[in-house]
Structures are given as structure tokens and as C-alpha cells.
């Protein structure tokens, strides 16, 4: 089930949800985003909004002190995190905390899923910063949300884990083709609607919808460069995360590698070097944390 943006049919997409429940955007995130979009935004007001929920605030502080974000200074509060990391990064951490809460699955551990999402998101942000191809905060958000349809499909379909295993090792066609054939829907469609419901912009939501369809790089649709760039960065980020965490067979990378390199105007060797450098960074940070 491939959806080109120049023939996007929202009715067909909604039908393809197959009864999957899309959680509403938490009110606190709406308030934070509204404040960030306000030309007269108040740093103190944003910190206060986050601090009103002790659970969210503690998760933000804990994440800010992790090797992915720590800059050598111990962060003790949301205000410290905002001052040292910036409110764009803090908002990413709030999104993560709220997303984890909104799509928890009863009696199912999602720790490996969240570890993969966080490393992918962090790799995306570093790639965006080093290449200047996208805003790091947007690239992080894309990495965090791109697979968020998976836990929702676990909630909806008892056999989804088996389907996911087949999709992860599929060498022919797109990852989402396997889901479509088994379920009549896929995690990219579900993720698209969650991204829209949570107020993410079109580049992010449409990129999520198409993030396993690497034909988007042939230029025959109107997806837009912002979305295509996010998909390209995320393909590298997913490869970095799966290699670093050793979580799955990275068959998707074999499909993405050549079109992504061409789109980013890189040789295959340059693309591999870019990915390998990031893998080395994450491996070194993990070693330092466990030393």
C-alpha cells in the first residue's frame, strides 16, 4: 500500500487504520508548542509548564543527564536543561516522555523499541547538525515518532510481533508491504495519523507516511525536499541505531543505501564513513557510561 503525496486520499488512509486507536495529544504538549510558537515566548513559562508534571520533569532531567545529551555538567532541573541544551531539545525530551506514556502496551516490554527510537532520533539530530540538511530538533522528532505506529499495532493485533519479524527480514519489496499483506494496514499509516494528531508539521507527518518507500527519491511525486531529507537522514539513523544496539537484521539499509546516497549527493563510501563515524561515537559513549 504505497501512498504518493500527489494522490493522497485521506479517506483511504483513515479506512486503512483498521480500528487502531490514536491517542490524543496531551494538553501540556499543546501548551508548550503554543508557547514556543509565540514570538513573545517566555522561557520561564515553558519551564513552569513542564515542571507542573513531576513525572515529565523528572524524565526530562534524567534524559538530559544521559550520554546522548550530557555536556559534562550535571543538570538538576528543567531550567538547567533549558539553559544548557535549549528549549528545542527540552521539547524533544518532553515529547518522548509523553509518547512513552501515551502508547504503553499492557504486559509488553517496549524498552528495546524505545532504546532504538532514542538512538535513531539522536543520530538523526547529529546528522542534521553536521550536514546542515535539517533542523536537529525536527530530525530528532522524526526519529522519535517514525516507528510509533508499531506499539499501537501491537495493541490492536495479537499477531503483529510475528508480522514484524517477517518485515524485518524481508529482502523483496518494502517493509510496509509485509504489514499491508498481513493486516491491511502498516505502522507508517498509523504513525502518520499520530503525528498529525500531535500537531507535527507536514514534512514530518508525510515523511513518516513514506519512510519505508525509497522510491520517493526518484522525484516523481510532490513529497517535498524537507520530508525527503528527513526520510534520508532517518534511514542512516536507523542503520546506526540497529548496528550500535545489535537489535535486528538491517535489511532495510540495503534497500535505502544507494537512493539515500544519491539524494544526499554522497558516494556510497562517503555515506558508509558518515554512518560508521556515528556508530563509533555511540559505541564510545556507551563504553564510557559503563566503565
At 2 the pLDDT is 46
Asked if residues 259 and 217 have their Cβ atoms less than 8 Å apart, the reply is: yes
Mean pLDDT for 190-195 is: 96
- Quote the cell numbers at residue 98: 509523553
Mean pLDDT for 107-136 is: 93
At 222 the pLDDT is 76
Residue 157 burial (CB count, 10 A): 18
Residue 288 clears pLDDT 80, i.e. is over it:
no
Q: Please tell me the distance from the alpha carbon of residue 174 to that of residue 261, in angstroms, as a whole number.
A: 18
Q: Please tell me the distance from the alpha carbon of residue 116 to that of residue 74, in angstroms, as a whole number.
A: 25
Angstrom distances, CA of residue 190 to CA of 205, 277, 285:
10, 32, 33
Residue 41 clears pLDDT 50, i.e. is over it:
yes
pLDDT, one tens digit per residue, over 43-86 is 778 888 888 888 888 888 888 888 888 767 788 888 888 888 88
Q: Please tell me the distance from the alpha carbon of residue 198 to that of residue 26, in angstroms, as a whole number.
A: 8
* pLDDT band (50, 70, 90) for residue 246: confident
* pLDDT band (50, 70, 90) for residue 231: very high
- Quote the cell numbers at residue 247: 537489535
Q: Please tell me the distance from the alpha carbon of residue 160 to that of residue 117, in angstroms, as a whole number.
A: 19
At 5 the pLDDT is 46
Tell which wins on pLDDT, 67 or 147: 147
* pLDDT band (50, 70, 90) for residue 262: very high
pLDDT, one tens digit per residue, over 1-32 is 444 444 456 677 788 788 899 999 999 888 88
Residue 117 clears pLDDT 60, i.e. is over it:
yes
Q: Please tell me the distance from the alpha carbon of residue 4 to that of residue 128, in angstroms, as a whole number.
A: 25
Mean pLDDT of the chain: 88
Burial of 149 (0-12, 13-18, 19+ CB in 10 A): buried
Tell which wins on pLDDT, 17 or 123: 123
Radius of gyration over alpha carbons of the chain, in Å? 18
pLDDT, one tens digit per residue, over 151-180 is 999 999 999 999 999 998 888 889 999 999
Q: How many CA atoms lie less than 13 Å away from 253 in the CB half-sphere? A: 15
At 188 the pLDDT is 95
* pLDDT band (50, 70, 90) for residue 286: confident
Amino acid at each position: 500500500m504505497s501512498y504518493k503525496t500527489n494522490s493522497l486520499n485521506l479517506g483511504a488512509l483513515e479506512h486503512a487504520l483498521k480500528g487502531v486507536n490514536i491517542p490524543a495529544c496531551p494538553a501540556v504538549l499543546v501548551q508548550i508548542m503554543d508557547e514556543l510558537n509565540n514570538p513573545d515566548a517566555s522561557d520561564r513559562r515553558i519551564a513552569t509548564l513542564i515542571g507542573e508534571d513531576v513525572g515529565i520533569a523528572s524524565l526530562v532531567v534524567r534524559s538530559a543527564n544521559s550520554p546522548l545529551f550530557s555536556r559534562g555538567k550535571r543538570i538538576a532541573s528543567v531550567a538547567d536543561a533549558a539553559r544548557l541544551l535549549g528549549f528545542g531539545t527540552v521539547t524533544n525530551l518532553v515529547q518522548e516522555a509523553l509518547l512513552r506514556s501515551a502508547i504503553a502496551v499492557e504486559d509488553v516490554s517496549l524498552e528495546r523499541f524505545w532504546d532504538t527510537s532514542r538512538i535513531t532520533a539522536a543520530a538523526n539530530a547529529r546528522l542534521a547538525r553536521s550536514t546542515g540538511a535539517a533542523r536537529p530538533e525536527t530530525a530528532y522528532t522524526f526519529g522519535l515518532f517514525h516507528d510509533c505506529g508499531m506499539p499501537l499495532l501491537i495493541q490492536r493485533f495479537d499477531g503483529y510481533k510475528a508480522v514484524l519479524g517477517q518485515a524485518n527480514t524481508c529482502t523483496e519489496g518494502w517493509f510496509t508491504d509485509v504489514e499491508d499483506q498481513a493486516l491491511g494496514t502498516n505502522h507508517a499509516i498509523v504513525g502518520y495519523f499520530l503525528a498529525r494528531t500531535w500537531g507535527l508539521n507536514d514534512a514530518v507527518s508525510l515523511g513518516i507516511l513514506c519512510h519505508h518507500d525509497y522510491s520517493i527519491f526518484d522525484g516523481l511525486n510532490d513529497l517535498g525536499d524537507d520530508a525527503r531529507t528527513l526520510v534520508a537522514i532517518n534511514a542512516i539513523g536507523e542503520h546506526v541505531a540497529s548496528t550500535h544496539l545489535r537489535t535486528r537484521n538491517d535489511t532495510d539499509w540495503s534497500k535505502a543505501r544507494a537512493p539515500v546516497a544519491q539524494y544526499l549527493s554522497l558516494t556510497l563510501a562517503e555515506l558508509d564513513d558518515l554512518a560508521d563515524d556515528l556508530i563509533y561515537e555511540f559505541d564510545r559513549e556507551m563504553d564510557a557510561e559503563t566503565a
